[in-house]
Chains A and B, each alone.
Chain A
Amino acid sequence: MNNSKLPPTSSGLFNSPQNRAIIFQVLSLVVVVLCIFYFVNNMFDNVAKRGITTGFSFLGETAGFGVSQALIPYDDTSSTFLDVFIVGLLNTMLVGVIGIVLASIIGLMVGIGRLSSNYLIAKLSLVYIETFRNIPILLQILFWYNVVLAALPSPRQSISYFDSVFINNRGLIMPDPIFESGSGFILVAFILACISVVFLAKWASKRHDLTGEEFPLIRVSLAIVVVAPLLVFFVTGQPISAEYPALKGFNFKGGITIIPELLALIFALSIYTATYIAEAVRAGIEAVPPGQKEAAKSLGLKEHVILRKVVLPQALRVIIPPVINQYLNLVKNSSLATAIGYPEIVTLFSGTTLNQVGQAIEIILMTMAVYLVFSIVISLLLNWVNAKMEIKGR
Chain B
Amino acid sequence: MAVYTMKEAKPAPSTSKGLVFWLRENLFSTIPNTLLTLLGIYFIYTTIPPLLDWMIFDATWSGTKEEVVKEGARWIFIIEKFDQFMYGFYPEALHWRPNLVAIISIIFVFFIPRLSSIKIKFVSMLLYPVVCFILIRGGLGLEVVGTEKWGGLMLTILVAAVGIIASFPIGILLALGRQSDNMPIVKTLCVGFIEFIRGVPLITILFMASVVLPLFFSDGIEFDKLLRALIGITLFQAAYIAEVIRGGLQAIPKGQYEASESLGLSYWQGMILIILPQALKISIPNLVGSFISLFKDTTLVLIIGLFDILAMVTLTNSDTSWLGFEIEGYVFVTLIYWVFCFSMSQYSRVIERRYNTDH
Contact = CB atoms under 8 A, between A and B. Distances in A.
Interface of A: 17-18, 21, 24-25, 28-29, 32, 39, 42-43, 45-47, 49, 116-121, 124, 130-131, 134-139, 142-143, 146-147, 332-333, 335-336, 338-339, 346, 350, 354, 360-361, 364, 367-368, 371-372, 374-376
Majority-rule SS of A interface residues: helix
Given A134-B341, A139-B333, A371-B201, A364 B208 contact: yes
Contacts of B182: 17-18, 21
A25 B185 contact: yes
A134 B342 contact: yes
A297 B80 CA distance: 63
A80 to B, nearest CB: 22
B330 A142 contact: yes
B183 interface: yes
Contacts of B292: 134
A146 B44 CA distance: 25
8 contacts: A42-B215, A49-B219, A119-B27, A124-B44, A138-B300, A332-B201, A346-B207, A364-B204
Given A45-B218, A143-B330, A134 B345 contact: yes
B200 A372 contact: yes
A139 B310 contact: yes
Nearest to B205: A368
B296 A137 contact: yes
Nearest to A337: B203
Interface string B143-162: 00000000000000000000
B44 to A, nearest CB: 8
B186 interface: yes
B186 A146 contact: no
Interface of B: 26-27, 29, 33, 36-37, 40-41, 43-44, 182-186, 189, 195-196, 198-201, 203-204, 207-208, 211-212, 214-219, 292, 296-297, 299-300, 302-303, 310, 313, 326-327, 330, 333-334, 337-338, 341-342, 345
A24 B201 contact: no
A360 B200 contact: no
Nearest to A148: B327
List 7 A-B pairs, minimum CB-CB distance, nearest first: A375-B199, A134-B341, A119-B26, A136-B296, A332-B201, A335-B201, A39-B216
A376 to B, nearest CB: 7
A371 B199 contact: yes
A361 B212 contact: yes
Given A25-B183, A339-B303, A361-B212, A134 B200 contact: no
Contact of A131 (B37, B195, B303, B338): B338
Contacts of B219: 46, 49
A249 to B, nearest CB: 28
A119 B313 CA distance: 38
A118 B198 contact: no
Contacts of B198: 375
Given A21-B182, A375-B199, A136 B297 contact: yes
A136 B208 contact: no
Contacts of A29: 185, 189
B25 to A, nearest CB: 8
Contacts of A376: 199
B297 A43 contact: no
B338 A121 contact: no
Contacts of B218: 42, 45-46
B303 A338 contact: yes
Contacts of A24: 183, 186
Given A120-B27, A338-B303, A143 B334 contact: yes
B106 to A, nearest CB: 22
Contacts of A45: 218
A28 B185 contact: yes
Contact of B189 (A32, A118, A368): A32
Contact of B337 (A49, A139, A147, A333): A139
Contacts of B203: 335-336, 338, 346
A124 B326 contact: no
A367 B198 CA distance: 14
A136 B189 CA distance: 32
A116 B189 contact: no
A335 B345 CA distance: 26
